[in-house]
A and B are shown apart, each in its own frame.
Chain A
Amino acid sequence: MSDSFDDLRDLYQEVILDHGRRPRHARRLESFDATAKGDNPMCGDRIEVWVKLGTDGTIADTGFQARGCAISVASADLMAETVIGRSKADTHALFEAFREMARTGQCPHCDGALADPLERLEPLAGVHEYPSRVKCATLAWHALIAALEGGKEASSE
């Protein structure tokens, strides 16, 4: 049983441990244009996301409050980091590409226009080996997309 946690470093990379421990965007926005809650009833993870839009319709700021595991908090934080300044359409595209990465570990769009933010999210790709944990990584995104679409609740079920 020497160092069998070592192979877990592909799931719990330093970036994830760091953002899970000290999220930079974990705050409620004072003024916002959209908000939604996300709920994963399977494991009890909860998140609330707030979005402030700029005059051009891009995401000017976003913040969240989450109760959940290191993966879900880190994912929410990296999401916030990568969507600020982006249009809704780009955010949608990023979500789709990220979701595929989390589910399959593959990233066919990683060479495209979204290469930079996807590279930032890449440390989360390790969850694809843990099917029950994929939802932890995508919950924040589901909530963000629900907020942008004017919904109130999202579930990663």
Chain B
Amino acid sequence: MNVEAKISLGRPAVLDVARIREDFPILRQKIRGKPLVFLDSAASAQKPRAVIEAMREAMETQYANVHRGLHWMSERTTDAYEAAREAVAALINANDAHEVVFTRNITESLNLMAHSYGRGILKPGQAVLISGMEHHSNIVPWQLLRDERGIELRVVPVTDSGELDMDAFETLIADGKVGLVSMTHMSNVLGTYTPVERIVRMAHAHGAKVLFDGAQAVVHRRVDVQALGCDFYAFTGHKLYGPTGIGVLWGRRELLDAMPPFLGGGEMISSVAFERSTWADVPHKFEAGTPPILEGIGLKAAIDYVQQIGYDAIAAHETALVDHALARLGTIEGVHILGRAQDRGGVVSFALDRAHAHDVATLLDRQGIAVRAGNHCAEPLMHRFGLDSTTRASFAIYTSHDEIDFLADSLARVREFFK
């Protein structure tokens, strides 16, 4: 941590990790008497004080339901909630805040797409193209669609290096039947960044729209949906240092306009009669019921916090951590790191000879190190590499090089334990 602070003096684009750690109250916790080393941020990130305070303050000073009251409290809360939409639009450079739909999490965003785009726009005989490195939330909704509507599901294979097989991509999309490409921007297991610009070009050349799962990518890299040229982009608030209970689906206005609603209820209607109801305009058409108000306010605080640090520094920090982790873990005998993509981000999954991932995680936990063990909601990818489970360390803006060194030292000792 000290090292980092020193480096940062001369180079403003480098994160001052020690200072950032001050912003996360939880990092002061001790686990069984040892400092918390939280290397499970890809599952869910810790929250900076700014987020905690924003939500507390809203509850203490200006809370009411949104879009319905004519009173002071409701108007203030509505403004705060809609300001969150503006913040998301600015974060991903959307044209218009009306293109930002709030959901409960990215899983709901993807289900919304499978429902409203899949059932409303795609036709039987068309296909959806996903990849072999998807999270279950970008697999199962399309399977349900396939089984119900006869919309084919195609899968781009993953190479030994943990990258998308782009030759196969080309072949799979060539017949023009693919209506939607739905793919991860960064794998939550391999850390691989997918070639998003190329995917968009190839998809559009064959008449397909493109949806990206940005749950991991948006945490580490600046996302510009207009520069990317994609049609939809989704992410989840709690991995971006925001609260749970809020997710985002961004889509091009004309595409969202053409899609039928997802859930029905209050908020999403224009008028209701027993014969027929009419729908509100986007984004409200897709936001039935009382929305995640406090979560929206918390997400805005998280986005402000991240923007203030800046993605240049965040991305550089991620790269430095991954390089360091690969160098340190890669030289421990018996540790096998999954994937060696050229372009890779802040998660490192590995298997350890003779030790099961759960045993590894329990031993590391004893040191105060939190990692994830299991299939990471990506069973098909695990099987692709002949594994049932791996241990995964994942990094965030508050992760220090010292913590990675501590992980490496501890792993060497775990290996001794199971020798």
* Contacts from A to B (Cβ < 8 Å): 1, 4-5, 7-8, 11-12, 17, 21, 42-46, 67-71, 130, 133, 136
- A residues within 8 A CB of B355? 70
Name the residue of chain B whose CB is nearest to the CB of A6. Answer: B366
Closest to B387 in A: A44
14 A-B pairs besides A42-B374, A45-B358, A71-B359 with CB distance below 8 A are A1-B410, A5-B413, A8-B363, A12-B359, A21-B354, A44-B374, A44-B379, A44-B382, A46-B388, A69-B356, A70-B356, A71-B358, A130-B362, A136-B358
Residues of B within 8 Å of A12, CB to CB, are 359, 417
CB B278 to nearest CB in A, in angstroms, measures 43
Q: If A21-B354, A70-B418 touch, does A5 touch B363 (CB 8 Å cutoff)?
A: yes
The answer to whether B354 touches A4 (Cβ under 8 A) is no
Please indicate the chain B residues that have their CB under 8 angstroms from the CB of A11 in the complex.
362
Instruction: Pick the contact of A43: B366, B367, B373, B410 (CB < 8 A).
Output: B373
CB neighbours (8 Å) of A45 from chain B are 358
Interface residues of B (CB under 8 A from A): 34, 354-359, 362-363, 366-367, 373-375, 379, 382, 388-389, 406, 409-410, 413-414, 417-418
Q: Which residues from A are CB-within-8-Å of B382?
A: 44
Contacts of A17 in B (CB 8 A): 418
Interface contacts (Cβ under 8 Å), in number, total 53
The minimal Cβ–Cβ distance linking A102 to chain B, given in whole angstroms, is: 15
Smallest CB separation, B34 vs chain A (Å): 7
User: Is the Cβ of B417 less than 8 Å from the Cβ of A5?
Assistant: yes
Compute how far the CA of A21 lies from the CA of B353 in the bound complex, rounded to whole angstroms: 12
- Give the distance in Å from the alpha carbon of A57 to the alpha carbon of B413 in the complex: 47
Cα distance A146–B374 when bound, in Å?
25
Closest to A42 in B: B374
A16 to B412, CA, bound (A): 21
**Bound complex: CA A34 to CA B378 (Å):** 33
Task: Identify the closest chain A residue to B416 (Cβ).
Answer: A5
Question: In angstroms, how far is the closest chain B Cβ from the Cβ of A157?
Answer: 14
A65 to chain B, nearest CB (A): 13
Q: How far is the CB of A9 from chain B (nearest CB, A)?
A: 10
CA separation between A17 and B409, bound complex, in Å? 22
A4 and B414 CA atoms in complex are apart in Å by 11
Min C-beta distance of A5 to chain B, whole Å: 6
State in angstroms the CA–CA spacing of A44 and B359 once bound together.
13
